[in-house]
A and B are shown apart, each in its own frame.
Chain A
Amino acid sequence: MSERPPRADPAVPPQLTPAGGPAADLAVEPGEAPPLDTAPTPPGTAPNLLDSLPPGPIPPAAAFSAAQAEPCLAVRDLAVSFRTRGGTVKALEQVGFTVGRGEIVALVGESGSGKSVTAYALMGILDAAGEVTAGTAQFGGTDLLHAPERTLRGIRGRDISMIFQNPRTALNPIRPVGKQIADVLIRHGGAGRREAPAAAIEMLRRVRITDPERRARAYPYEMSGGMCQRVMIAIALACRPKLLIADEPTTGIDVTTQAVIMDLLTGLARESGVSALVITHDLALASEYCDRVVVMHAGHVVEDAPVRDLFAHPRHPYTARLLAATPTGHASLADLASIPGSLPDLRRPDLPACRYIGRCDRALDSCQVSLQRREIAPSHLVACNNPL
């Protein structure tokens, strides 16, 4: 019982800023625009996006410098393995990154790189065959990886919420969406049973669903994919989390709707000072909506840098290859280059220190036995013995 977090008073919504955080030095006068250079507004974000949002105590994205001092989430040396009939799969090894307060970080990689496993490990919802074998994940004084289930249950959905890839399967198909939002509010003390339905409608309005009173009574099958994803966002933000984890939030959604959803998601996060970890395989999407990108390959973090630096000067050979393979500004098909080789078998007992070695044209002998992780430029980390 003692681990149970204090239940929030329904009248006082959970505060976004933890006590004693750096918010005090960062407070901006109400109505004062945050400095432009530190608060990039995503293109296309309408200024009135959050008219109905109460002003958050944290100015959007202004926390970057302080983010280093006390990040929202700090993952260190995370290792996860899965027991399978074919042997133990070392799915994650020495994964480390931070998400600063108000920062939007992209976790990018191809399938099998471990990005979703990372999110599931943080949420404590790994498959039964998976096991966290090492590491810590500090989140507001709690180590998410070692906290008892009871504590996690109080954190999930309230302080950390998650948006899943396919909204239609993540939502309850036989419950009206308004009730599903209200459920979260009631469970985490965001609203009482009486106020919850109205609060749910208010959330639907915030995610810009037209006619929210009517839509609150709709079932997921009555809504389009884009609308279901808005409902997911409403559920995720209902209790004003400190951290939002979005796992491929727009995969399978049309490109026009994707743009609207991403504008909404990042706009809401920035306005209310929510930190976000966006998992995506789409480098272009990451470049447009995120502040920093963490690139994963075969269970390792290979590069971690601010968006601008990463795309202007990728330092890890894999990042450079991934960029060359992503069709964006290429003049012709011939300019698109593939990445040779494939992911190593993570069940091998003799995995090389660098898991990219078999695909790399810059590999050194030393890459077999040791891997150097270093800060190659300010806040630009790379795990490579022979970076570009």
Chain B
Amino acid sequence: MSETLPLLDVAELSRQFTVRGTTGGLLARLRGGAAAAPKLHAVDDVSFTIGRGETVGLVGESGCGKSTLVRVLTRLLDPTSGSIRLGSQDLTHLPARRFARRPERARIQMVFQDAGESVNPRYTAFDAIADPLRRLRRLRGAALRSRVETVATQCGLPLALLPRFPHQLSGGQRARVGIARAIAVEPELLVLDEPTAALDVSVQVVVLHLLARLKQELGMSYLFVSHDLNVVRLLCDRVLVMYLGRIVEEGPAGAVFANPRHPYTRALVEAIPQIGAEGAPERIRLGGEPRSPIDPDPNVCRFYGRCPRGFARCAEQMPPLHEVGPRHRAACHLVEGG
């Protein structure tokens, strides 16, 4: 039974923020009270699963709701509606405020973009890695030291560097501290938010290899948030593409990159610079800006207006996710019927 149950099961998850301080909002409140205040739909009706040992990539441009989704999943924010299940446990109703002190905290851990900024600058590498072990595993003394050293070794961080502060470490070493700290409490799901964005390519390669090895050794699942699609393609089994709060395409990484079905995914894939691409056929370029995420019309495709292939129906009906291949779905009227 537990074999077939996915590790993470997210269903119809939404998160809205009330917009304050706009003239429109003020007028609305004057007229109809708080209920009519405009809402920013950061994450809108998102459903997906992550299997055990699976690596899922989450891509999309800034402002598409990736970070809000990650913050809701890691229970730093409460969802407005929908459910989050981790294994057999429902996390939806554990308030974010109290989640940090619960044992479930250890099951989902996060690696942030730039460990130079996300690690307390007054903590040594040792303290940074020891902190979650002290709080969540109640380890002290020799047991703590031995666990920190084991994890540091696992992440390829020389033990001699443990007494150093973040500013005394190189970018690659800091990335290792950020990873070591997250895996110290043996999470089942590791959420990685652009873990290599701040690194040079030569260091990025080392960190990507480290992540691939750790996954094999520890059997974790990854949710890998990135806008470097070349990296996502190499590291991930499956990809979710988000646009303005909604998932517009999901499928096996190979299929999505080789044969993107949603026009937005296509534009995204074609925007990646490629070596030796001179003289490539004309590519889709996205002009303009995304639509406003504040109280969007539920009957209009979010990509309409910016989509090079939009037509009348896109403004009348929000396209649902259609099956376009094995485990491959896209939310576009043009792919209806496979």
Chain A residues near B (Cβ < 8 Å) = 40, 43-44, 110-111, 208, 210, 224-225, 227, 254-260, 262-263, 281-285, 287-289, 307-308, 311-312, 321-323, 325-330, 332-333, 336-339, 342
**In the complex, what's the smallest C-beta–C-beta distance from A42 to chain B, in angstroms?**
8
Nearest-neighbor residue (CB-CB) of B203 within chain A: A338
Q: Tell me whether A110 and B235 are in contact in the complex, defined as CB-CB below 8 angstroms, given that A43-B278, A263-B285 are known contacts.
A: no
6 contacts between A and B (CB under 8 A): A321-B202, A326-B201, A327-B205, A327-B228, A329-B274, A338-B205
CB of B272 within 8 A of CB of A330, answer no
CB contact between A43 and one of B234, B280, B289 (< 8 Å): that residue = B280
Is B94 positioned at the interface, with any CB of A under 8 Å from its CB? no
**In the complex, what's the smallest C-beta–C-beta distance from A50 to chain B, in angstroms?**
16
Q: How far is the CA of A44 from the CA of B285 in the complex (A)?
A: 7
CB of A43 within 8 A of CB of B274, answer no
In the complex, which residues of chain A have a beta carbon less than 8 angstroms from the beta carbon of B170? 342
CB of B278 within 8 A of CB of A308, answer yes
CB of A283 within 8 A of CB of B275, answer yes
Nearest-neighbor residue (CB-CB) of A258 within chain B: B271
Q: Tell me whether A307 and B278 are in contact in the complex, defined as CB-CB below 8 angstroms, given that A282-B273, A333-B209, A333-B212 are known contacts.
A: yes
In the complex, which residues of chain B have a beta carbon less than 8 angstroms from the beta carbon of A263? 285
In the complex, which residues of chain B have a beta carbon less than 8 angstroms from the beta carbon of A339? 202, 205
The 0/1 profile, CB within 8 Å of A marked 1, for residues 123-143 of chain B is 000000000000000000000
Q: Tell me whether A287 and B277 are in contact in the complex, defined as CB-CB below 8 angstroms, given that A254-B61, A258-B271, A327-B230 are known contacts.
A: yes
CB of B234 within 8 A of CB of A336, answer yes
Is B286 positioned at the interface, with any CB of A under 8 Å from its CB? yes
Is B337 positioned at the interface, with any CB of A under 8 Å from its CB? no
Q: How far is the CA of A55 from the CA of B280 in the complex (A)?
A: 27
The 0/1 profile, CB within 8 Å of A marked 1, for residues 225-248 of chain B is 001111101110000000000000
CB of B231 within 8 A of CB of A327, answer yes
CB contact between A256 and one of B206, B233, B282, B286 (< 8 Å): that residue = B286
Q: How far is the CA of A78 from the CA of B208 in the complex (A)?
A: 36
CB contact between A288 and one of B208, B212, B274, B285 (< 8 Å): that residue = B274
Nearest-neighbor residue (CB-CB) of B63 within chain A: A224
- Which one of A44, A257, A281, A308 has the highest number of Cβ atoms from chain B below 10 Å of its Cβ? A44
Nearest-neighbor residue (CB-CB) of B230 within chain A: A327
CB of A110 within 8 A of CB of B273, answer no
**In the complex, what's the smallest C-beta–C-beta distance from A215 to chain B, in angstroms?**
12
In the complex, which residues of chain B have a beta carbon less than 8 angstroms from the beta carbon of A322? 201-202
In the complex, which residues of chain A have a beta carbon less than 8 angstroms from the beta carbon of B268? 255-256
Nearest-neighbor residue (CB-CB) of A253 within chain B: B62
CB contact between B274 and one of A208, A254, A328, A337 (< 8 Å): that residue = A328
Is B46 positioned at the interface, with any CB of A under 8 Å from its CB? no
**In the complex, what's the smallest C-beta–C-beta distance from B185 to chain A, in angstroms?**
26
- Which one of B204, B267, B271 has the highest number of Cβ atoms from chain A below 10 Å of its Cβ? B271
In the complex, which residues of chain A have a beta carbon less than 8 angstroms from the beta carbon of B271? 255-256, 258-259
Q: Tell me whether A43 and B206 are in contact in the complex, defined as CB-CB below 8 angstroms, given that A256-B268, A257-B61, A284-B274 are known contacts.
A: no
Q: Tell me whether A43 and B286 are in contact in the complex, defined as CB-CB below 8 angstroms, given that A259-B271, A285-B273, A288-B274 are known contacts.
A: no
CB contact between A338 and one of B202, B235, B286 (< 8 Å): that residue = B202
In the complex, which residues of chain A have a beta carbon less than 8 angstroms from the beta carbon of B206? 338
Determine the interface band of chain B, counting residues with CB < 8 A from chain A: 35 or more
**In the complex, what's the smallest C-beta–C-beta distance from B193 to chain A, in angstroms?**
15
Nearest-neighbor residue (CB-CB) of A251 within chain B: B197
Beyond the given A40-B278, A43-B278, A325-B202, could you list 19 further A-B residue pairs with CB under 8 A, ordered by the A residue number? A111-B171, A224-B289, A254-B61, A255-B61, A259-B271, A260-B286, A281-B201, A284-B230, A287-B275, A287-B278, A307-B278, A308-B278, A311-B275, A322-B202, A326-B275, A327-B201, A329-B274, A336-B209, A342-B170
Is B327 positioned at the interface, with any CB of A under 8 Å from its CB? no
In the complex, which residues of chain B have a beta carbon less than 8 angstroms from the beta carbon of A312? 276
**In the complex, what's the smallest C-beta–C-beta distance from A40 to chain B, in angstroms?**
7
CB of B202 within 8 A of CB of A110, answer yes
Q: How far is the CA of A327 from the CA of B235 in the complex (A)?
A: 11
In the complex, which residues of chain A have a beta carbon less than 8 angstroms from the beta carbon of B274? 284, 287-288, 328-329
Nearest 4 CB-CB pairings of A with B: A339-B202, A284-B273, A254-B61, A259-B271
Q: How far is the CA of A357 from the CA of B140 in the complex (A)?
A: 45
**In the complex, what's the smallest C-beta–C-beta distance from B226 to chain A, in angstroms?**
10
Is B217 positioned at the interface, with any CB of A under 8 Å from its CB? no
Q: How far is the CA of A254 from the CA of B66 in the complex (A)?
A: 13
In the complex, which residues of chain B have a beta carbon less than 8 angstroms from the beta carbon of A323? 275
**In the complex, what's the smallest C-beta–C-beta distance from A35 to chain B, in angstroms?**
16
Q: Tell me whether A281 and B200 are in contact in the complex, defined as CB-CB below 8 angstroms, given that A287-B275, A308-B278, A333-B212 are known contacts.
A: yes
Is B279 positioned at the interface, with any CB of A under 8 Å from its CB? yes
**In the complex, what's the smallest C-beta–C-beta distance from A282 to chain B, in angstroms?**
7
In the complex, which residues of chain B have a beta carbon less than 8 angstroms from the beta carbon of A257? 61, 286
Is B98 positioned at the interface, with any CB of A under 8 Å from its CB? no
Q: How far is the CA of A208 from the CA of B286 in the complex (A)?
A: 13
CB contact between A287 and one of B202, B273, B283 (< 8 Å): that residue = B273
Is B287 positioned at the interface, with any CB of A under 8 Å from its CB? yes
Q: How far is the CA of A328 from the CA of B257 in the complex (A)?
A: 12
Is B288 positioned at the interface, with any CB of A under 8 Å from its CB? yes
Q: Tell me whether A43 and B277 are in contact in the complex, defined as CB-CB below 8 angstroms, given that A259-B271, A260-B286, A333-B208 are known contacts.
A: yes
In the complex, which residues of chain A have a beta carbon less than 8 angstroms from the beta carbon of B278? 40, 43, 287-288, 307-308
CB of B275 within 8 A of CB of A338, answer no
CB of B275 within 8 A of CB of A260, answer no
Q: Tell me whether A333 and B234 are in contact in the complex, defined as CB-CB below 8 angstroms, given that A254-B227, A328-B274 are known contacts.
A: yes
Q: Tell me whether A328 and B289 are in contact in the complex, defined as CB-CB below 8 angstroms, given that A225-B62, A281-B201 are known contacts.
A: no
